[in-house]
Amino acid sequence: MAFDICKLRDSSRRLFARARFAPGCPGNPAAWLGVLVLLTVISAPPSRASGPETWVRVDTGASTLTVMRGEQVVASFPGIAVGRGGVSRERRRGDHKTPLGEFRIIKVKEPSQYHRFFIIDYPDEPRARLARDAGEIDEPTFQAIRSAGRAGRLPPQNTPLGGNLGIHGLGRGDPVVHESFHWTQGCVAVTNEQIDRLAELVRVGTRVVID
């Protein structure tokens, strides 16, 4: 075999040089081509199958949270609660509204007073830009939010746009209240059992669409 002729026992970048000067290594083009093919196979990184994206859809109208893999439903959780101020594209600190839009899970807080808490990257750059243009936040605040978002970090949470939002469980909260009212300060709430199941399916970086 060509591999035995050249005594190729090394997968490092110096393999070709060792083979080049190895005694008895054939000098014809076909043999050298075999060496080059071997080097390409050895040095290539392992391939990773890129399957469909796992993402979360929060349907505030139907009060459901669904984990999707591409367009396929993986798990669906009914009876969620959202902010007691309703839902809105615009949100301000203290209005208890759940923001509509597309976000990413940026941080996982566990344990939490809500059992588990998947924090999203709110406020985002588009909302911050609108708030800056309306004079609600200043330029340094806008730049801080934009920089954090582009770097994949948690944006400032103490601006007039509010923060500390995400998906969480009940903790020691009353299940009857959860079943009867939208009660949160702007987060999406599910039961403790549901948040435990969700923790098996999502991670930091998972996309969350709230509509």
DSSP assignment string, 129-178 = HHHHHTTSS-HHHHHHHHHHHHHT-PPPSSSTT----EEE--TT--HHHH
What does the pLDDT read at residue 30?
53
> Is residue 55 within 8 Å of 167, Cβ to Cβ?
no
Q: Is the pLDDT of residue 71 over 60?
A: yes
Q: Is the pLDDT of residue 94 over 80?
A: yes
What does the pLDDT read at residue 158?
95
Q: What percent of the chain has pLDDT over 70?
A: 77
Q: Is the pLDDT of residue 55 over 50?
A: yes
Mean of the per-residue pLDDT values of the chain: 85
3-class DSSP state for residue 87?
strand
Whole-prediction pTM: 0.76
> In terms of Cα–Cα distance, which of 87, 53, 58 is closest to 167?
58
- Residues 15-45: tens digit of each pLDDT: 444 444 444 545 555 554 454 444 444 444 4
99: preceding bond cis by omega (within 30 degrees): no
> Is residue 190 within 8 Å of 113, Cβ to Cβ?
no
